[in-house]
Structure 1
Amino acid sequence: MTSLQVAEPPDEVTPPRARLAGSRPWIAFLARRLVRFLVSMFLLVTASFAMVHALPGDPVRDALGVKAAPEVVASTRQRLGLDHSLWQQYVDYLHGLFTFDLGTSLSSGTPVREIMTQLVPPTLALGGTAFLATICVSIPVGMAVGVASRDGRRRGLHLSFAGVTGLLLSIPDYVLSVGLVFVLAVTLRAFPVAGQGGPASYVLPVTALAAGPVAYLARIVRAETQRVLAEEYMRTARSKRLPARLLYVRHAFPNILTATLTVSGLVLSSLIAGTVLVESVFAWPGIGHELVQSVLATDFPVVQAVALFFGSAVLLINLAVDVVIAIVDPRSTIRES
């Protein structure tokens, strides 16, 4: 008599319900981050509207000049909707954002959307290049100094590193920009003074933007490197006499990456915001330079659009960093957030 045997499902097959349960932490994590992002965007839009309308002076009168006829000023204010109540202007502003209508520049009469379309790419190119330079320089330098000075070794290297990075952090962007222009552009004539041209035109503004972030991030990477190298698993790996490539790249670097990514998001946000002063010094054709000119001319539609761009860029960067960190280290991020 043959006994019946019940076939068991293979181990590698995961029931659909178990897969759904495993995906719930990710869904909850993304939902929380998305809600936080939307709330922050609403506060940003409201703050940008309130900030611009709190500026002193009459933007229409400033744009048309003191000699403009009262009828012209009144018609311009009516055409721009500035004769409505503040609440109605806020509703119109929100409607314009959803329809990609950012208004019209009071100074030039050009739609703000066209101005942003022309000026955003140069700013992103400058900020992105500075960020890549920051990552490519700070991480290798920080890891190298952290490895060389671990356990109190090479005290002179540690003091030199702390002194150089401290000096770079103490110099404001605009002071460094002016110094670079005077020495390398005016005196030595090694690089262009201003404007966006070939690759050489990026050297001075990128250096001015990235010097402080390189010093800051290199310090973080050095401290994280020394912390990771002091862990027990790293001592065990070192006792096995593994090659340096396996020891530092495969074992140390992934554990340094989480803190580095967190700080890198802050660095990228500061680089985007730092373009305002650097673009003004180097006459870079970006929105940072346009922001300064618009504030001086009280061209509030342009000021609103630029402020909204900078704020939304920071929020998007923070959201992207949170997601990337959750992918790299899901256990400590998704379950605890």
Structure 2
Amino acid sequence: MSHELGIDPPVAATPEPATKRQPAEKTRTHVWIRFLLRRTARMIISLFIIVTVAFFVVRMSGGDPVREALGPTAPLALVEQRRAELGLDAPLLNQYLQYLLGLLQGDLGSSFITGQSVSSVVAERLPKTLALGFIAVVVVLIVAIPLGLIVAVMTQNGRRRLTEFSFGGITGLFLSIPEYLLAVGLVVLFGIMWPVLPIAGSDSAASYVLPIIALGAASSALIARIARVEGLKVLGQDYMRTARSKRLPKTTLYFKHALPNMLTAVLTLGGTTLGGLVAATALVEQVFNWPGLGYTLIQSISARDYNVVVGVAIVYATLIILINLLVDVLLAALDRRTALVEM
């Protein structure tokens, strides 16, 4: 009948080859695996470079850790014997290769001063630094991003010039003050002139307040500025005008529609800032006598305790690289189109 009417009969669908029916989920899994492998390779290369630079810079900086440990009156024969026991009489390249070999086995060496293993020093001091750095990062993100968005809403279309001027002046002031100097100022203000907060140690929750302010002030100012600029861009988009026309509640409009769309750029520009915040714990811990890795690092540099200095530097570098990796993962999750291109 169909032939008589000039209509071709329906053709049965030809099944697609198996290679063309690969599920989208499997493709995304492969993309993420490639992404993580590439980032891991970069991390290993970066750590190798950091270990090499730290080792040679510390060893060639001068000073004698054995003389520092034994004192200026120790007999020369005893100093030479101790140097031989520690392997410090070997050529520098041999010391480096020996250190790398131990590092591959998970051995960071031992302190030249106390004889304690560097791994145990790190295990003892790292939790305090992680607690301080983690809380500071969380506070910075919670304060800076909403603050930048709120100021963007208030100053949109050239409104409230005084607010814009004040915001720029205050954030510029915090950006111009180094963390170390701000920490000293906080000690003078709240430890001497108005003693209401602890200025040393980590014995209570109150002892976290001043170190976190010193660590997070500059980072909060920078990320708030970035958030304001990106917030103004997002608020000017057509989809935001459409959302306004629907008379949505302001909290839904700004924190559900505007905030997610500005996070990608804010995290991209602010990721390195957060890594720098962790690095700044070294000086801040010294000011507040905080029993963390930063305090240990400064003390070890003064004592020429090479293995502790290099070991702590490796841990700091690993923390910063992991933070950058986490930011990359968050960016890839927030903007999958960019992730597919860059992965």
1:63–1:298 Cα contact (<8 Å) kept: no
Alignment partners' CA distance in 1, 2:10 and 2:271: 61
1:268 is displaced (CA, Å) by 2.2
Deviations 1:87-146 (CA, angstroms, capped at 9, x unpaired): 221121112212222112122222111111111111111111111111111111111101
Residues 48/145 of structure 1: CA separation in 2 closer, same or farther (3 Å cut): same
Q: Which stretch of the first structure deviates more once superposed, 298-307 or 85-94?
A: 85-94
SS at match of 1:256: helix
Partner of 1:72 in structure 2? 78
Q: Does 1:296 align with 2:297?
A: no
Alignment partners' CA distance in 1, 2:181 and 2:13: 76
Q: 1:286 aligns with which of 289, 292, 304?
A: 292
Please tell me the residue identity of whatever aligns with 1:277. Answer: L
**Structure 1: 4+ residue segments shifted above 6 A:** none
Q: Does 1:263 align with 2:275?
A: no
Partner of 1:58 in structure 2? 64
Partner of 1:207 in structure 2? 213
Q: Does 1:130 align with 2:136?
A: yes
Please tell me the residue identity of whatever aligns with 2:204. Answer: G
Q: 1:120 aligns with which of 123, 126, 151?
A: 126
Partner of 2:242 in structure 1? 236
2:65–2:113 Cα contact (<8 Å) kept: no
- Give ranges in structure 1 of 5+ residues lacking alignment: none
The aligned runs of 1:1-337 (5 Å cut-off) are 15-16=21-22, 20-336=26-342
Identity of aligned residues (%): 46
Q: Which stretch of the first structure deviates more once superposed, 318-327 or 24-33?
A: 24-33
Aligned pairs, number = 333
Alignment partners' CA distance in 1, 2:56 and 2:80: 22
Alignment partners' CA distance in 2, 1:285 and 1:275: 11
Residues 42/132 of structure 1: CA separation in 2 closer, same or farther (3 Å cut): same
Residues 214/17 of structure 1: CA separation in 2 closer, same or farther (3 Å cut): closer
Deviations 1:286-311 (CA, angstroms, capped at 9, x unpaired): 11111111111111111111111111
Please tell me the residue identity of whatever aligns with 2:322. Answer: L
SS at match of 1:334: helix
1:265 is displaced (CA, Å) by 2.3
1:21 is displaced (CA, Å) by 4.4
Partner of 2:3 in structure 1? none
* Higher Rg: 2
TM superposition score normalised by structure 1: 0.92
1:25–1:335 Cα contact (<8 Å) kept: no
1:20 is displaced (CA, Å) by 4.4
1:66 is displaced (CA, Å) by 2.2
SS at match of 1:67: coil
CA RMSD after TM alignment:
2.3
Q: Which stretch of the first structure deviates more once superposed, 130-139 or 57-66?
A: 57-66
1:29–1:334 Cα contact (<8 Å) kept: no
Alignment partners' CA distance in 1, 2:239 and 2:143: 27
1:105–1:299 Cα contact (<8 Å) kept: yes
- Give ranges in structure 2 of 5+ residues lacking alignment: 1-8
Alignment partners' CA distance in 1, 2:275 and 2:81: 40
Please tell me the residue identity of whatever aligns with 2:313. Answer: A
1:22 is displaced (CA, Å) by 4.8
Deviations 1:8-56 (CA, angstroms, capped at 9, x unpaired): 98xxxx9336654454433333332222222111111111111111211
TM superposition score normalised by structure 2: 0.90
Alignment partners' CA distance in 1, 2:28 and 2:179: 47
Alignment partners' CA distance in 1, 2:236 and 2:48: 44
Alignment partners' CA distance in 1, 2:136 and 2:25: 42
Deviations 1:233-252 (CA, angstroms, capped at 9, x unpaired): 21222222222233212221
Alignment partners' CA distance in 1, 2:241 and 2:33: 37
Alignment partners' CA distance in 1, 2:311 and 2:55: 10
Residues 171/54 of structure 1: CA separation in 2 closer, same or farther (3 Å cut): same
Q: Which stretch of the first structure deviates more once superposed, 169-178 or 25-34?
A: 25-34
SS at match of 2:144: helix
